[in-house]
Structure 1
C-alpha cells in the first residue's frame, strides 16, 4: 500500500485553560485522523466553528497541536525543531481566505513573492525574481505586476497574488483556506478553475477548506465532514454527494440549492445553534441537533468506523443508508 503524503493521527487542539490564558478550555479539535494521498485534493466542510481552519493551521504547525501526530511522507513534523521545520516549510504553503489582509500594503508584489525565497536562502536576487515572475505567469498575471502594490489590484487579482506567493517555493502541499469566499461570485469560478488547473498540472497535494459544498464537489477527490471539532464522515466526493450517510452530512447537502425546477428538494433544517466548543455535549457532539438521535448517543463519542468500503462514519446507528 502506498504511503499517504499527509497522515494526521489522533490530533487534538485545545485553547485556553492555562495560567497564561485563563477561562474554560475550548476543545477546538478532538481526536482527528485522516490521510491525503499524494496528488489528491481533500476537502474540509462544516459549519462555522467546526474546526476547519484550525485543522489547516495545525497540519502546518502555524498553531501547535495539543496532541497527536502530523506525518509528511512518514516524518512527524510535530516533533521537528525550528531548523528542520523551516526546511519542511519549503514543501508546504498556505493560501489565506482574505487576499487583502494577507498582503502587506507596504511591500511591492515582487517583495511579497520573493520574501519566502529570501528567508529560505534560495537562489541569487536574479534567480528569485525569475521564480517570482514565473509564478505570476502561472496565475495569469503580467510580469509588470512585480513592481506594483496590492492596492492597485482587484480582489480576484490579489488572490491570484496569494496563490503565486504559495507557488514561488515550488511546494508539494498546499492548504487552501476558503480561498474564494471573500471574492465576488463572478470571480470565484475563475479562481477555482485556476486552482484546479494548477493542482493537476503541478501534481499538488491539497487540503481545501470551504463552506461552499458545490465548490468542494467540483474540486475535491475526498470530503471530510466536521462538526464541533470532530469528524462525522469521510468519503470519496462522488459517493458522499450521491449517498450521504451521516445525519449531519445529509442536512448539509440538503441545503445546496438545485437549479433544476423539476427537482423537489427535501430540506432538512437543523434545530438550534452549534454548541460551544467550551462546553460540548456528552457522547456524540451532534446529538443535540440530530433528528435521529438515540439515548445511547449521549454515552460516548462514536468511533469513526468503516460503514461502506472506503467510507467512514461516526454514528452508532446500524440503519445508515447503504
Structure 2
C-alpha cells in the first residue's frame, strides 16, 4: 500500500485582482499547479523571479488565500478550514522567510520572538515555552545568551538561524523555506544549507524549499519542480532532472549554473527576452515566446505534464521529439 503524501496540492490557482475602483488587469500568479511531497522529503520549487514560487509557498499555508484548488496536509484540506481551525493547524506548518532581519521584531528579545508562537498556540506554563525556545536555539547552534539579546546584535547568518529556530520551536512537521539563503554571503549560505539538511534528516521534517539557485536545490532537494510564469514545466527526482532535463526551460536554467570542475564545460543556452507579465501571459504554452524549440502549435493549447521517465514529467508538446533525439 502506497503511503499518502504528507502534502498534496491539486489545481492550485491564485489570481490577484486589482484594487477596488482600479481598472488594472488580473494578475495570474499561479495557474492549475499540482504536486505531492512525501512525508520526510524535500521538494524544491525553482524558476526565475515572477514564476510563482513564493505565491505557491504562501498559498499552501494560507498566508494568501488561493483562488482555486485544494491543499491537503496530512489529509486535512487547508482551503476548507475556518480561521479557528487554521490556527490550530499552524503549529504543524511553519514558514522560513527570505529576509531574516525584516521578519524579526527589533523591539522583542529573541526569547520573546521564539515564545510568541508558543503562547499563541496555548503552550503552558511559561517554563515550558522558555525550555522549548532555548532548545530551538541550541538546535540551530546559537549560544544560550542569544535568548536575552535583540536581532540587531546578530549577523545575517545568525538571524537566519533565529528564523529557523522560531519555526522549530513549534515542533512542526511541514516547513516552507522561502529563499532562506539568498540574502546571505556564499560562505554563510553553505552553513545554513547544511544546517537545514541536518535538521530535516534528524527531525524527519517534510519541506517545500523555494529557490532560484539550482546548485543549492540539487544539494538539498529529493525532487525538483521547475516553474515558469505560474505553471509547472517539469517535475523529476533531483538526480534525474540534473542528469537528463527534458524541458527546454529546464535545460536553459541548468546551462547557466557555473561549472566548478576544471576542463568540464557545458553549452550555455541563453534565453532571449524577459519573462512576460503574469497580467498578460501568452496563449498556449507560456514559455513559447522565449523557447528555442517553439513552433506554431505551441500557441494553440496549454501542454499538460506528460510522463517521460520514471517519476519524470515534462509539459512540452515536443517531448517525443526531444526523447528521440530529433531535436535538442
Secondary structure class of the residue paired with 1:266: coil
Which residue number corresponds to residue 41 of structure 2?
Answer: 40
- Partner Cα separation in structure 1 for residue 281 and residue 217 of structure 2: 27
Which residue number corresponds to residue 109 of structure 1?
Answer: 110
Q: Structure 1 stretches (4+) deviating beyond 2 angstroms?
A: 17-22
- Partner Cα separation in structure 2 for residue 149 and residue 18 of structure 1: 37
- Partner Cα separation in structure 2 for residue 310 and residue 234 of structure 1: 8
TM-score calculated relative to the size of structure 2: 0.97
1:186 Cα shift? 1.3
Contact preservation (8 Å) 1:243, 1:321:
no
Counterparts of residues 72-151 of structure 1 (less than 5 Å): 72-151=73-152
1:17 Cα shift? 4.0
- Partner Cα separation in structure 2 for residue 321 and residue 248 of structure 1: 15
1:200-223 per-residue CA deviation (whole Å, 9 max, x = no partner) reads: 000000000001110000000000
1:73 Cα shift? 1.3
Q: How large is the Cα RMSD of the aligned pairs?
A: 1.0
Q: Unaligned 5+ residue runs, structure 1? A: none
1:54-88 per-residue CA deviation (whole Å, 9 max, x = no partner) reads: 00000000000000000011211101001111111
Which residue number corresponds to residue 60 of structure 1?
Answer: 61
Which residue number corresponds to residue 152 of structure 1?
Answer: 153
- Partner Cα separation in structure 2 for residue 240 and residue 179 of structure 1: 22
1:257 Cα shift? 0.8
Contact preservation (8 Å) 1:11, 1:33:
yes
Q: Unaligned 5+ residue runs, structure 2? A: none
Which residue number corresponds to residue 239 of structure 2?
Answer: 238
1:224-243 per-residue CA deviation (whole Å, 9 max, x = no partner) reads: 00000000000000000000
- Partner Cα separation in structure 2 for residue 249 and residue 268 of structure 1: 10
1:307 Cα shift? 1.6
Cα distance 1:90–1:270, how it changes in 2: closer, same or farther (>3 A)?
same
- Partner Cα separation in structure 2 for residue 131 and residue 95 of structure 1: 18
Secondary structure class of the residue paired with 1:87: helix
- Partner Cα separation in structure 2 for residue 192 and residue 34 of structure 1: 24
1:168-222 per-residue CA deviation (whole Å, 9 max, x = no partner) reads: 0000000000000001111110000000000000000000000111000000000
Matched, 1:306 2:280: no
Counterparts of residues 1-322 of structure 1 (less than 5 Å): 1-17=2-18, 19=20, 22-317=23-318, 318-321=320-323
1:242-300 per-residue CA deviation (whole Å, 9 max, x = no partner) reads: 00000000000000011222112200000000000000000000000000011110001
1:321 Cα shift? 3.4
- Partner Cα separation in structure 1 for residue 22 and residue 73 of structure 2: 31
Count of residue pairs brought into register by the alignment: 322
TM-score calculated relative to the size of structure 1: 0.98
1:24-74 per-residue CA deviation (whole Å, 9 max, x = no partner) reads: 000000000000000000000000000000000000000000000000112
Cα distance 1:198–1:245, how it changes in 2: closer, same or farther (>3 A)?
same
Contact preservation (8 Å) 1:244, 1:321:
no
Contact preservation (8 Å) 1:29, 1:229:
yes
- Partner Cα separation in structure 2 for residue 312 and residue 66 of structure 1: 25
Bigger shift: residues 2-11 or 253-262:
253-262
